[in-house]
Amino acid sequence: MKVKVYGADLTAWVAAASLARAGNDVLIEGPDTQLAKPLQEISALRDEPGLLYQIELQMQEGRLKRTSSQDCKTNIHWLALEHNEFHLAQAIISELANEVTENLLIVNQCNFGVGATDMLQSLLNEAANQVVVYIPNNLQEGKALQGFSQPKRITIGSENSWAITMTRSLIRPFLQNIEHLLLMSSREAEFTKLAITGMLAIRIGYINELANLADQMDVDIDTIREGMGADPRIGNHYLSPGCGFGGQNFNQNISRFSEIFEKRGQNSLLKTVISENEIQKELLFKKLWQHYQCDLTHKTVSVWGASFKPGTASIDNAPSLKVIDALLAQGVHVRVHDPEALGNLQQHYDDHHDIAFCNDPYDAITESDALLLVTEWPEYWSPDYERLLQQMRMPLIIDGRNIFDREALEMYGFTYMGVGR
């Protein structure tokens, strides 16, 4: 099939690459500024494992092309725009309404909020099979390609049978591992999408709150968490306490859902979760501050992990930023390592004179007064403890993701602090 994808960020490129890989002829249309850039310079592509390779491959095969032209006799259009580009979606659809007068399928994957798909549909003539379908964007940064091509669940938000049939055939190649294929109205699908994100955030917020309490009550949150997870009504997912969550999509979706509550005059649990999460991001700094009795002058502090989660180079809303900001404000010399995010971090801090970007994790801990583990990249889980002891000025480890074993570390002679234990 011929498909045209609209958008410039990760979601658009993942959709384009995956649809092309499945044998479709795909055009991707982004803004002219992006079109002028070589693929290697688009950070969304660089940060996502395997994506750039797949795109280049599909381009070589001739199934994926970049374009900026409006001409298009294609019948299937895939919108993966930013949440604040609703006006752009309206413009695209208005134009298509005139150009493709019948059998026009538009898949809307954008997070425009509840009711947006209906508003877009109102620009079209449904009787002539001009239909907008909503498919929620379940993209997980770091696992985006796999998430798109082998999803466990897909929701199709539409009540038009022609459109549902068309959509099914379009996504058919991706249904091998499917457990749930849900059909509902686009409005309900949009609401469900936000409801899921909100629920996950509330779970994380709650376990973090419990961890902070556990800290003060001399119990180990890991044990508590195991106990909670064993209850089948609760389960183990999204129950790991830590120093806050980040990422662009997750944060954006929760904030926007929370705004919907506020607009309707309802107090929202989510609002509290969001503000508490911002506080949680400073947790490691606070522990360090208290350990050194409110005085961090002339200290050197190492940070392991800067991306908002392992497997991505993205630092959007990352806890590391808040920690580093707080350290720099106290005049601390910061040495940071991250396997992938150093470039983004360097750009963000614009070569601040008090921060060293280290390509080797052990370089980052030289003469350090504390090691803060912010992102749980796999290579940090089992470090060379002897080397840490040798190189650090003070053997203090503050573990924001509870990846280390307290007893083992204390046996080596470290001072260890986790989150809630």
Partner 1 sequence: MTVDQSPAWLALKSHAQSLSNKHLKEMFAEDPQRFAKLSFSAAHCLADFSKQRITDDTLQLLIGLAEQQQLPQKIEALFTGEHVNTSENRPALHTALRQPKETPLVLQGVDISKEIHCSLERMEALVEQIHNGQWRGYDGSPIKTVVNIGVGGSDLGPLMTCRALNLFTTDDIRDIELHFVSSMDGSQLARLLNQIDPASTLFIVSSKSFSTIDTLANSNTAREWLVNASGLPVELISQHHFIGVTASPAKATEWGIPEKNQLHFWDWTGGRYSMWSAIGMAIALQTGNQNFRRFLAGANLMDTHFRTAPLTSNLPVLLAMVGIWNINFLNIHAHAILPYDGRLEHLPAYLEQLEMESNGKCVTLTGEKLNYATCPILWGEVGPNAQHAFYQLLHQGTESVMCDFIAPALRYQGHGDELKAQHQLALANCLAQSRLLALGDSVLEDAANAPSHKRYRGNQPSTTIMIDELTPESFGALIAMYEHKVYVQSVIWEINPFDQWGVELGKQVATSLLDQFSNPTTTTDSSTEGLIRFVQQQRQEAGS
The answer to whether the annotation marks 241 as part of a ligand binding site is yes
Q: Which is nearer to partner 1, 187 or 291 (CB)?
A: 291
Token digits of residue 56: 């280049």
Terminal Cα distance for the chain, rounded: 55
The answer to whether the annotation marks 229 as part of a ligand binding site is no
Token digits of residue 123: 């620009």
- In the complex, the smallest distance separating the C-beta of residue 243 from partner 1, rounded to whole angstroms, is 13
Distance CA 21, CA 204 (A): 35
The answer to whether the annotation marks 310 as part of a ligand binding site is no
- In the complex, the smallest distance separating the C-beta of residue 261 from partner 1, rounded to whole angstroms, is 21
Distance CA 421, CA 417 (A): 7
- In the complex, the smallest distance separating the C-beta of residue 287 from partner 1, rounded to whole angstroms, is 8
The answer to whether the annotation marks 239 as part of a ligand binding site is yes
Furthest C-alpha separation in the chain: 74
- In the complex, the smallest distance separating the C-beta of residue 327 from partner 1, rounded to whole angstroms, is 10
Q: Which is nearer to partner 1, 164 or 328 (CB)?
A: 328
- In the complex, the smallest distance separating the C-beta of residue 350 from partner 1, rounded to whole angstroms, is 17
The answer to whether the annotation marks 380 as part of a ligand binding site is no
Q: Which is nearer to partner 1, 60 or 293 (CB)?
A: 293
Q: Which is nearer to partner 1, 224 or 326 (CB)?
A: 326
- Please give, one letter per residue, the 3-state secondary structure of the chain: CEEEEECCCHHHHHHHHHHHHCCCEEEEECCHHHHCCCHHHCHHHHHCCCHHHHHHHHHHCCCEEEECCCCCCCCEEEECCCCCCHHHHHHHHHHHHHHCCCCEEEEECCCCCCCHHHHHHCCCCHHHCEEEEECCCCCCCCCHHHHHHCCCEEEEECCCHHHHHHHHHHHHHHCCCCCEEEEECHHHHHHHHHHHHHHHHHHHHHHHHHHHHHHHHCCCHHHHHHHHHHCCCCCCCCCCCCCCCCCHHHHHHHHHHHHHHHHCCCCCHHHHHHHHHHHHCCHHHHHHHHHCCCCCCCCEEEEECCCCCCCCCCCCCCHHHHHHHHHHHCCCEEEEECCCCHHHHHHHHCCCCCEEEECCHHHHCCCCCEEEECCCCHHHCCCCHHHHHHHCCCCEEEECCCCCCHHHHHHHCCEEECCCC
- In the complex, the smallest distance separating the C-beta of residue 412 from partner 1, rounded to whole angstroms, is 26
Q: Which is nearer to partner 1, 79 or 324 (CB)?
A: 324
Q: Which is nearer to partner 1, 262 or 405 (CB)?
A: 262
- In the complex, the smallest distance separating the C-beta of residue 322 from partner 1, rounded to whole angstroms, is 9
The answer to whether the annotation marks 388 as part of a ligand binding site is no
Q: Which is nearer to partner 1, 193 or 287 (CB)?
A: 287
Q: Which is nearer to partner 1, 220 or 325 (CB)?
A: 325
Q: Which is nearer to partner 1, 24 or 258 (CB)?
A: 258
The answer to whether the annotation marks 240 as part of a ligand binding site is yes
Give the sign of the dihedral formed by CA 342, CA 343, CA 348, CA 353.
Answer: positive
State the residues that interact with partner 1 by CB under 8 A. Answer: 279, 282, 285-290, 293-294, 325-326, 329-330
- In the complex, the smallest distance separating the C-beta of residue 272 from partner 1, rounded to whole angstroms, is 15
Residues annotated in the binding site for substrate, as ranges? Answer: 193, 238-242, 246, 309
Residues annotated in the binding site, as ranges? Answer: 141, 193, 238-242, 246, 309
Residues annotated in the binding site for NAD(+), as ranges? Answer: 141
